[in-house]
Structure formats: C-alpha cells, structure tokens
Amino acid sequence: MTDSKYFTTTKKGEIFELKAELNSDKKEKKKEAVKKVIASMTVGKDVSALFPDVVNCMQTDNLELKKLVYLYLMNYAKSQPDMAIMAVNTFVKDCEDPNPLIRALAVRTMGCIRVDKITEYLCEPLRKCLKDEDPYVRKTAAVCVAKLHDINAQLVEDQGFLDTLKDLISDSNPMVVANAVAALSEIAESHPSSNLLDLNPQSINKLLTALNECTEWGQIFILDCLANYMPKDDREAQSICERVTPRLSHANSAVVLSAVKVLMKFMEMLSKDLDYYGTLLKKLAPPLVTLLSAEPELQYVALRNINLIVQKRPEILKHEMKVFFVKYNDPIYVKLEKLDIMIRLASQANIAQVLAELKEYATEVDVDFVRKAVRAIGRCAIKVEQSAERCVSTLLDLIQTKVNYVVQEAIVVIKDIFRKYPNKYESVIATLCENLDSLDEPEARAAMIWIVGEYAERIDNADELLESFLEGFHDESTQVQLQLLTAIVKLFLKKPTETQELVQQVLSLATQDSDNPDLRDRGYIYWRLLSTDPVAAKEVVLAEKPLISEETDLIEPTLLDELICYIGTLASVYHKPPSAFVEGGRGVVHKSLPPRTASSESTESPETAPAGAPSGDQPDVIPAQGDLLGDLLNLDLGPPVSGPPLAASSIQMGAVDLLGGGLDSLMGDEPEGIGDTNFGVPPAAAAAPARLGAPISSGLSDLFDLTSGVGTLSGSYVAPKAVWLPAMKAKGLEISGTFTRQVGSISMDLQLTNKALQVMTDFAIQFNRNSFGLAPAAPLQVHAPLSPNQTVEISLPLNTVGSVMKMEPLNNLQVAVKNNIDVFYFSTLYPLHVLFVEDGKMDRQMFLATWKDIPNENEAQFQIRDCPLNTEAASGKLQSSNIFTIAKRNVEGQDMLYQSLKLTNGIWVLAELRIQPGNPSFMDLELSLKCRAPEVSQHVYQAYETILKN
C-alpha cells in the first residue's frame, strides 16, 4: 500500500467524493481523504474548493492529521481569507498547549498563512511564544518574526517584536541565538539602513560562544553576521579569527566557506609580520582544497570563490596547482572554472606541469573546453615570460594536429603572443601560413591577416596571401575587412613598389563599395594620409604599438576587495557586487575590507587605534534615495568626475575654435590602438566636435549660476553624479548623471564616457513610462562621435508631459540609450525634489483646512537623524528646493515649521517639521507628512533628508 494511489483518481466527481470522505465520521477515512487532498495539491491540482471541509478536520488530537491540515491551510489560506479566519481559534488554542511541539507547530503554521486578518491575531500568541520557557518554541517564534515582517513590516515594528528579537541574541540556548541572528539578517536585508544587527564586542562574544554549539545552519548565519563586524583593532581581529578557525574543519561546505570569508576579511587587519598571519594562511589552504572533492555543484561555487581568493592572496594556494587539474568527466562548468584558476596560479615554478596538462586538454572531445585550453596556453605565455617559448612550441604542436578549431584558436593566441613579445617568434610564421586556407572563423582570419600585415617584410608572398583574401572582401565580416584594409596599407608602406595596385583596390573597395561607415572612414583616412604625406602615413600606421598588458582579465582591485566581503554569496558566484543584480529599489549596504591597522604600536598607544576605527564604524550606507545603482560608483574605473560639470563644459566651449587647424597635427601623435580596431576616427579630432552640443545648454546654465551666485533662491540641491550604467554592462559606454531643477525646468545632466576601443555614434535616449510622466523635452544631442576614452557632458532638458504609469518604487525611471553598438537599458531613481514646483506655497487658511481635511491614516511620520541645523538654515535650504515654510511656531522649546510643496502633477504635500534648536545632544528632526496620495510620503521624506543633509 503506497501513497501513489492518491494520484490515480482523476475522474470527474473526485472533489465531490473527497468532500464526502472528509465529512465522514470515521477518523481513518478522514485522514485518508486529507492525504488524498494533499497529494492532489502537491501535483498542482486545485483543491481549494474543499477548504471548509478540510478546516473542519483541524480540531483533532491526532498530530499527523493536524499537520496535514496545517499544510493545506498554508497553501490555500491566501485564496480563501475569510474561511481562514475560522482556523484562528484553533491556532490560538494550540499556542497554549502543554506540549511544546504543538505550541511551536501552531505558531510556525500561523506565520505561514499570509493573510492580513490572521496576522493581527498572531501578535499575542507570538509575543508569548517569544518568551516561552521551552527553547524549541522560542527558536521557532524567532523565525516567525521574520515571516511576519515579510507580510507586514509595519506591524512588526509597532509591536516591538524587533527589540524582543534583539534580546534573543543573548539567549542561553545557542539554537535560539542562531535563529534570532538568521531572522534579523533577513529582516535587515530589506532595511539596509536600519541598524538591526548592532554588533559590539559583547554581542560578538555571545555569538562566538553560540557558534560552537549550534547546528551547522545556525553556524552559517552566525558566521555571515560576524563577517559584517568591524573589529576595533588587530588584536580583536586576531582573537575572532582564532575562534572561527575550528569551523574550517566542518563537514558542511557552506560553514567552511563562511568561515573563510570571515578570516579573509579580518586577515586584512593583521600585520603580515605576525606569526599568526602565516599560520592562518597555512590553515586556509586545506579546507579550500577539500571543497573540491565534494559534489560538482558545490565544487562550482567553491571554484568561483577560490578564483577570487587566488586573486586576492595567491600565496594561499600557490602549492596546490594539482588539485585544479581537470578530470575528463568533470561537468563542463567545473572544467572551465578549474582552467581559469590554473592560469591564475601558473608561475615559473609550475609552468611545465601546467603546459603539459593544457596540451592534454586540447585533445579532448568538448569543443568549448578545447578552445579555452588553447587560449589558456596563450595566457600562460603572456603571464610567464620564461615559458613563452615553450608555449609557442606547444601551440605549434597543436597546429600540426590540423584539427580545425584548434588551429584557429591557436592562431588567435599566437597573434597575442606576437603583441607581447615582438620580434621574437617570427620564425613560426611560415607554419601559420600553411594553414591559411583552413581558417573560416572571422576572429582567426583577422588574426592571421594582422600577422601577415605586421610582418609583411618577412613574408615573401605577403601580397599574394592578402590578395587571396581580397577576392571575397564583401563577404567577410567587418572585423576581417578592417583588418585586411590595415594589413594591405601596412604592406604597401613596407613594399611600395609591387603593391600599388593592391592598395588601390582595397581602398576603393572600402570607400566606394562598402556600407559600413567605420570601414569607409578608415579607408578615407588612409587614402588621404597616403596621398598627402606618405612619411606621416608611415609614422601613423607603422607606429610602435604598446605591449598588451599581462593580465587583462584580472578583477579590478576595489571590486575585488568588495567581492572578498561577499565570499560565499551569489555575488561571489557572479563576480559582481550585489548592487549590480539585487532586485528592487532597496539600497544595498556597501561592504569594504577593514583597513589594516598599524601593527604592534597601534595596540600600545590608544590614540592610533581609534584612528582606524571611525571609517570602520560607519559602514558606507548609501541612503535609499541614493538609489541602487549608486554604489556602482566604486566600479568607476576611470578618474573621478573632476570639478563641477558646468565649469568643465564652459572651458570646452573654447576648444571649439581649435577644431579647424588642430586636426592634422593631432593625428600624427595618435598611435595605432590596441587590437587595431579603433582606427575609425582619431580621438583628438573627434573630441572637439563632440562638445558642439554642450555650448547652448551650458551657456544657459552658466547664466543661472550667476543668478544663484547673487543669492536668490533658484536651483534646488543637485546630487553628485552617480554612475548609472557601468561600462562593463554596456559594451564600454559608461553613463553617469544626476537630476537638477533650475527655475522651473528639470534636466538630466549626463556624462557619457566611452571606455571601449571603438568609436560611438548615433546616440539617442528614451524613457519608459513613469510615475510622473517624465520625458525628454529634446532629443539627446551628441554631435560628434565619441572616441575611446572620451567623455562628453550633456544636459538633457526634461518635461513632465510624457505618459504616466505607476512604477515601483515610485521614483523609478527606466531609461534606454542607443548608440551605434547596441541599445542599453538602465534604471535610476530620481530625487523627488526635482518635481517640486515653484508655486508650491499654500495659503495659510488653505493649509489649515487641508491639513484637517486629509484623513489621519494618510499621515506619515519620519525621523531625520543627526541633522544639526537651526530653524532658519533648514527653512532656507528647503525653500531653495521649493519647499515653502508657511508658518512657524515655538512649542516647549521646539520649533515647528509648517510647510507645503506641490508636485508637477498637482499633488500637494503638507509637512510639519519639528526642530529642537540649541540642543546639541538631540539632533534628530521629526517630520510628519500629510498627503492625499500617501505613497509619495516616503520619497518626500527622502528628499527632505537629502536636502537637509547637504
């Protein structure tokens, strides 16, 4: 007799039959029926119609039946909220049961019923259970708080459950502590700015004690929580490390990795001369290696993390190369990761072994893997100079195999090796040329053509080879076409006599018969160069190229440091900071490695210790309004935004004059770009015209700047530019910007930077429908192409007449930017104060009437913390952002400001701001907002906060 019978009934009257059985008098029959219902539910059948009948079975002493009914309730209560109320009484009764198992079960189940009405009844039983004498009930109740918070956050805060939860961190039972930490962490994730997990040396000590005794899962939560703590000096860091180290021997790999995270982070604070530092390094290697003997899925996550660790501290695993050797039946995702780490660990000492392995891999079956292995050989050559020769000979061996994709891949890498070590391995060119015909992939063809062009003087039949490519010129991909054009020009400059015809042919093909502007432009430039000044042409085309960098694929150090803080999380699997992919408008707490405190002296002298601490004590919490993309700032690979944007653009106005004469002289200096692809337009020439769009708007804003300088109140607060679209997500285009409001007009100040190697043109911008109908009032004008490494500032005027759609969060703006490369999307949050209109001052009487008129439910209260402003300063600041003070009153030493503002869509917001002047210890402002559309309150509050704090 098995449960499969529950699945078999599919005939029509099934529900009816079940109903009858559920109402049967016989206990046994009832239970069987409930089982059938659950089975149907599991496979996705809708059995919600049976709700009342199933709930009726709930009043029973039979624990199994009770559990089954609970299961059912959790699934369907949402769709039948009124019915679910019927179950409440039983729940409340069960919460008082003498058996702790039943008490826990009841409170657990109640938390899973996501119905508002039920949650109200849950509060009292939950409060009791949080203080229950039995730790099993307490630990279940702790999780229940997290559940409740998910359903109704406000309720949890109002009922003071968060404080009770915080108290549970000091509970005597380690399991309760672990669950309290887990619940708090989850709640904190949705409230990044709140200081829920306020860690201090005492609570850390409690956590460390609980760590030893709680379950493996609890250890994970506690370790992840510990990782957020910032020890005050290296001594504390060391003592925490010492107590965490035993976790490295845990059987659960998640515990191990979380422990590694804590150690990697706190190690940063330890002095390298310390004996303990060396011991710790040694202790880290074995557990990491052990992770690799686990199941492949675990291996994958471990490898992604090891990849980071190896980049941060290569010394840990430098002797463990062999464990990363690939087994032929590893899943492909494990193979590729292992390969990557092998290259990162490659050094002179082990290169022979690595190369032998890579060569072995190059004969495997999986094509992707083989390609990557061949590429890896090239990377080894570039990384370890002493091995270059051996790498080249290995590659030559592989070319001899004549396996098509191996040959092509090998040629692509050999090109890179030539770029790194010019004039060293040209002897192999002959072998390469033999394989010319078998190349059918653009990348390989382009690489081969580059080699022929670069070394044209040593290849006797270079002209013939290139000519053979020229026949099918129009069928080639752009990459090959561009390369061919450059190669033939190089050839011509090297052997002018025999190749005149060829060069003319390619120039006419490129300039006359091609639709591709890049190709045409490049063709014209060569043509003019060659016809006006061949000597200059030689200098340009045959200029000495910069060597390619050793490790182009390293993660940028600040990002790496951030990722180290996220070891063991999804961020570490994706190698992106959570802000780059975490969903929703929640701000993300920005983590950074602790600063290294001075070694032994710092502990001796008390003055130096606090010096390192302040930066640690205040984690970089970006205010929610600073938006989720805000902390991508850290990613900014380029130099920081220099000076105020207005000043910069006015200077560039002058540069326009230089346009005419400067061109020729500038071009000579431009070396051939990396990878030979950025030939389109020399950057310097393009730079000037790119500014053409700026003058009009910047001139205007200059005027405004003047007026504001005189002291009138125009121009609201402008946030510094934040990176909205990082270059790595938009094929090299980086966009940063901010929103401004000046004399009634809103604009979006953008800064476009080209970080690719390719010229960007044809910019356009579009907004998705948004809450306030923001739309560009004029097209995005970037007049000239944007060359590599060039930045352009644009002020895009906006209006609010676009189509309206409510967004979540309200101030979310989704933007699409197009250029010649692709279309990119990003979203940003605009500060609400740009929408505050100039005529937002309400009449006094009107204010009073409206304040009374708006129902009290619509009133929202906020606190603006640590804002030491007096009344005048605050009022002045707010007024410049169109928040108008209507009346002022002094009540019991507190200043009350009554203020009003109006949004572009006509919504009025009334505010009462309470300030306590002259009380330096209490610097919090209290803000009450009333509005007919209460959803804007949160954002208005954020605007207040931003304005007042800047």
Partner 1 sequence: MIHSLFLINSSGDIFLEKHWKSVVSRSVCDYFFEAQERATEAENVPPVIPTPHHYLLSVYRHKIFFVAVIQTEVPPLFVIEFLHRVVDTFQDYFGVCSEPVIKDNVVVVYEVLEEMLDNGFPLATESNILKELIKPPTILRTVVNTITGSTNVGDQLPTGQLSVVPWRRTGVKYTNNEAYFDVVEEIDAIIDKSGSTVTAEIQGVIDACVKLTGMPDLTLSFMNPRLLDDVSFHPCVRFKRWESERILSFIPPDGNFRLLSYHVSAQNLVAIPVYVKHSINFRDSSSLGRFEITVGPKQTMGKTIEGVIVTSQMPKGVLNMSLTPSQGTHTFDPVTKMLSWDVGKINPQKLPSLKGTTSLQAGASKPDENPTINLQFKIQQLAISGLKVNRLDMYGEKYKPFKGIKYMTKAGKFQVRT
Q: Which 288-307 residues touch partner 1, going by CB under 8 A?
A: 289-290, 293, 295-298, 300-302
Task: Report if residue 2 touches partner 1, rule: CB under 8 A.
Answer: yes
Residue 499, both tokens: 């190749």
| The one segment of 129-137, 191-199, 537-545, 733-741 that binds partner 1 by CB under 8 A | 129-137
Residues 8-27 that bind partner 1 (CB under 8 A): 27
Q: How far lies 401's CA from each of 12, 339, 404, 406, 440, in Å?
A: 66, 22, 9, 8, 17
282 CB-near residues (< 8 Å, 6+ apart): none
How many CB atoms are closer than 10 A to CB 152? 17
Q: Kindly tell me which of 304 and 939 has the beta carbon lying closer to partner 1.
A: 304
Q: Kindly tell me which of 48 and 271 has the beta carbon lying closer to partner 1.
A: 48
User: Cβ 278 to partner 1, closest distance in Å?
Assistant: 16
| The one segment of 17-25, 67-75, 656-664, 868-876 that binds partner 1 by CB under 8 A | 67-75
Q: Kindly tell me which of 211 and 525 has the beta carbon lying closer to partner 1.
A: 211
Residues 606-645 that bind partner 1 (CB under 8 A): none
Rounded distance, CA 304 to CA 833, Å?
43
| The one segment of 48-56, 117-125, 180-188, 422-430 that binds partner 1 by CB under 8 A | 180-188
Among 17, 19, 35, 56, binds partner 1 (CB under 8 A): 35
| The one segment of 203-211, 581-589, 732-740, 859-867 that binds partner 1 by CB under 8 A | 581-589
Q: Kindly tell me which of 243 and 691 has the beta carbon lying closer to partner 1.
A: 243
| The one segment of 2-10, 675-683, 709-717, 864-872 that binds partner 1 by CB under 8 A | 2-10
User: Cβ 251 to partner 1, closest distance in Å?
Assistant: 4
- For residue 130, which of 122, 215, 91 has the smallest C-alpha distance? 122
The angle at the Cα of 283, spanning 280 to 288, to the nearest 5 degrees, equals 125
392 CB-near residues (< 8 Å, 6+ apart): 381, 414, 417, 425, 428
Residues 539-568 that bind partner 1 (CB under 8 A): 568
Residue 676, both tokens: 């030979």
584 CB-near residues (< 8 Å, 6+ apart): 628
| The one segment of 357-365, 429-437, 844-852, 910-918 that binds partner 1 by CB under 8 A | 357-365
- For residue 678, which of 575, 546, 504 has the smallest C-alpha distance? 546
Residues 783-842 that bind partner 1 (CB under 8 A): none
Residues 687-706 that bind partner 1 (CB under 8 A): none
| CA 559, 564, 567, 569 torsion-angle sign | negative
Task: Report if residue 256 touches partner 1, rule: CB under 8 A.
Answer: yes
Among 120, 163, 328, 531, binds partner 1 (CB under 8 A): 328
Task: Report if residue 340 touches partner 1, rule: CB under 8 A.
Answer: no
Among 22, 54, 57, 65, binds partner 1 (CB under 8 A): 65
Residues 390-419 that bind partner 1 (CB under 8 A): 401, 403
Residues 137-166 that bind partner 1 (CB under 8 A): 140, 143-144, 146-147, 150
Chain-centroid distance of CA 913 in Å reads: 36
Q: Are 794 and 749 in contact (CB under 8 A)?
A: yes
Q: Supply the Cα-derived Rg of the chain in whole angstroms.
A: 34
Count the site residues for partner 1 by CB under 8 A: 104
Q: Kindly tell me which of 76 and 836 has the beta carbon lying closer to partner 1.
A: 76
Q: Kindly tell me which of 362 and 903 has the beta carbon lying closer to partner 1.
A: 362
Rounded distance, CA 288 to CA 320, Å?
10
Among 10, 11, 12, 43, binds partner 1 (CB under 8 A): 43
Burial class (CB in 10 A: 0-12, 13-18, 19+), 536: middle
Task: Report if residue 130 touches partner 1, rule: CB under 8 A.
Answer: no
Task: Report if residue 329 touches partner 1, rule: CB under 8 A.
Answer: yes
Among 121, 276, 325, 824, binds partner 1 (CB under 8 A): 325
Residue 746, both tokens: 């809103």
Among 250, 769, 914, 949, binds partner 1 (CB under 8 A): 250
Rounded distance, CA 754 to CA 735, Å?
9
Task: Report if residue 192 touches partner 1, rule: CB under 8 A.
Answer: no
Residue 78, both tokens: 């949402």
Rounded distance, CA 548 to CA 36, Å?
68
Half-sphere exposure of 370 (CA within 13 A, CB side): 18
Task: Report if residue 327 touches partner 1, rule: CB under 8 A.
Answer: yes
Rounded distance, CA 574 to CA 572, Å?
5
